[in-house]
Structure 1
Amino acid sequence: MKRAFPAVLAVALLCSPAAGGSRLVEPQLHLESSAGGRRVALTLDACSGATDTRILSALVENAIPATIFVTARWLRRNPDAVRLLLAHPALFEIENHGARHVPAVDEAVRIYGIAAAGSPQAVAAEVEGGAREMTALGLAKPRWFRGATAKYTPSAIAKIRGMGYRVAGYSLNADQGATLGAASVEKRVAAAKDGDVIIAHVNQPTRQAGAGLVKGLLRLKADGATFVRLEDVAETGTDGTAAP
């Protein structure tokens, strides 16, 4: 997700209807309440570009599981990271972030400066293209999809659900598209509550956000939090995204 615009413009984009009059939604996702303690799910978007090895190394060294949403573009450009993920199947669940990292919105809009897919057919192509690249590399067929920017029209959500996917929202935005500084990210992550689904990014190794994410996760673990992958627990999602 890209959050580089000023706050006023970001709010305007969020509140403006799409070209056909549909309201864009940014779904929430929560884990079902645990019996005790604090249970959270870390989800990382690998949009394109490179790999933040600070994050992946920390997850492996500290046995922190995560769900990684990968695009076809990122998979092609990061074979070493893909091998690392595959070498730790107990830690990493790999899911679909699309083919070209375009918003899965079936109307002609721009979201945070990114042109949306623009039609139901293009939404399907974005979803199918990501899944096809995953299986071509020997990854398991994905069950979850998260589109670029994590915003959708209700009709696009219905289209994706009809293709057999649950749509992954979130409840805690850790890094605002990897634009926040380390201290801000650390504070956000360390404050995660039971049931939170955290979204952050693993494709920006030169930004401070990754270092803050690692510190926040280690604070959470030291405080006794339990980390789970989406495939390991039951979740509830708004806007019809993750209903049974």
Structure 2
Amino acid sequence: MPAPSFRAMLIGVAVSVLMSTAASASSRDVELKLRIASPPPGPRVVALTFDACSGAVDLRILNVLIEHSIPATLFVTHRWLKHNPGAITLLMAHPELFQIENHGDQHVPAITDIPSLYGLKTAGSLASVKQEVDGGAAAVLQATGKAPHWFRGATAVYSRDALDSIRAEGYSIAGFSLNADMGASLPAATVAKRIAAAKSGDVIIAHINQPSHSAGKGVAEGIQRLLASGTVFVKLDDVQTQASN
């Protein structure tokens, strides 16, 4: 086999450097963990949190929450709110159950140091991060009459400067300790099993905007398994939480 040309070797070195730089930039970013601080002894206590990024509303999940009076915290984007007025009406009819918080304006990751993550173009600058946060907040306020005070960005990953900037605006950052559906990509049986195995103190993340995915069926089933076991459900505002990197 002929030896590689000098130009080919240079290209290989350049690609390796670029890959190393990208990996280094990504390694500086943060995905926060969030748990309920010191859950009491007795029945499991968990916080259900849902992202509504775009698309529709998954009534398989929402109907279970309403039927069984299960509280949850929903993180919604401006673009989801704009296309789902009926869902907002339904949520607002049950204010005792649903805490509605900020998932951003256009579902742009709050990241400044890499150009994309999980196929999404990142904000790229603190000015764009602020636009994403403020646009989402204005939409939640308009839809609900209440200003949000929690934020979860697209992908739930943040560059450190973006994290500091969002916190400086007064937001608590919503991490999680149990990823139930991996972006609504897992099969129903796997999702149900993951949720049913939740530990007391877990903050669970799932998606409520993908009614065509099988994951939503698993979310609904997993919640019902928790309910049958005597689990206590709380909103984020109902409890003290503890965040860590």
- Measure the CA separation in 2 of the matches of 1:43 and 1:185: 14
| CA distance in 2 between partners of 1:165 and 1:71 (Å) | 16
**Shift in Å, 1:22:** 6.6
Which one of the candidate residues 187, 191, 196 is aligned to 1:181?
187
Structure 2: runs of 5 or more not aligned: 1-18
How many Å separate the matches in 2 of 1:160 and 1:106?
Answer: 13
**Cα distance in structure 2, aligned partners of 1:141 and 1:47:** 19
Take 2:161 and 2:45, find their aligned partners in 1: how far apart are those partners? 32
2:24 alignment partner, one of 17, 21, 28: 17
Equivalenced residue count is 225
Cα distance in 1, alignment partners of residues 27 and 134 from structure 2: 24
User: Residue in 2 aligned with 1:138?
Assistant: 144
**1:158 pairs with 2:197:** no
TM-score of the two chains, using structure 1 as the length reference: 0.89
**Unmatched runs of 5 consecutive residues or more in structure 1:** 1-11, 240-244
After superposing on structure 2, the runs of 4+ consecutive aligned residues of structure 1 that deviate more than 6 Å are none
Deviation at 1:106, TM superposition (A): 2.1
Q: What is the root-mean-square deviation of aligned Cα atoms in Å?
A: 1.6
- Bigger radius of gyration, 1 or 2? 2
Distance 2:215 2:129 in 1: 30
Asked if the contact 1:108/1:119 (under 8 Å) is kept, the reply is no
Displacement of 1:17 = 2.8
Higher helix fraction (1 or 2): 2
Deviations 1:147-191 (Å, cap 9, x if unpaired)? Answer: 000001111110000011011000000000000000000000000
Offset at residue 61 of structure 1 (A): 0.2
Identity between Structure 1 and Structure 2 (%): 53
Tell me, in whole angstroms, the C-alpha distance in 1 between the residues paired with 2:173 and 2:143: 22
CA distance in 2, matches of 1:22, 1:208: 32
Q: What's the offset of the Cα at 1:103?
A: 0.2
Cα separation, 1, equivalents of 2:219 and 2:230: 17
1:148 aligns with 2:154: yes
- State the secondary structure of the residue aligned to 2:144: coil
Aligned counterparts of 1:190 and 1:22: Cα–Cα separation in 2: 31
Contact 1:175/1:200 (8 A) holds in 2:
yes
Instruction: From 213, 222, 230, give the equivalent of 1:224.
Output: 230
Deviation at 1:109, TM superposition (A): 2.0
Contact 1:96 1:142 in 2 (8 A): yes
Q: Residue 58 in 1 paired to residue 54 in 2?
A: no
Q: 8 Å contact 2:181–2:207 — kept in the other structure?
A: yes
Matched, 1:199 2:205: yes
Describe the SS at the equivalent of 1:30. Answer: strand
Query: Does 2:241 align with 1:210?
Result: no
In the TM superposition, what whole-angstrom CA distance separates every residue of 1:23-42 from its partner, at most 9, and x where no partner exists?
11111000012222210000
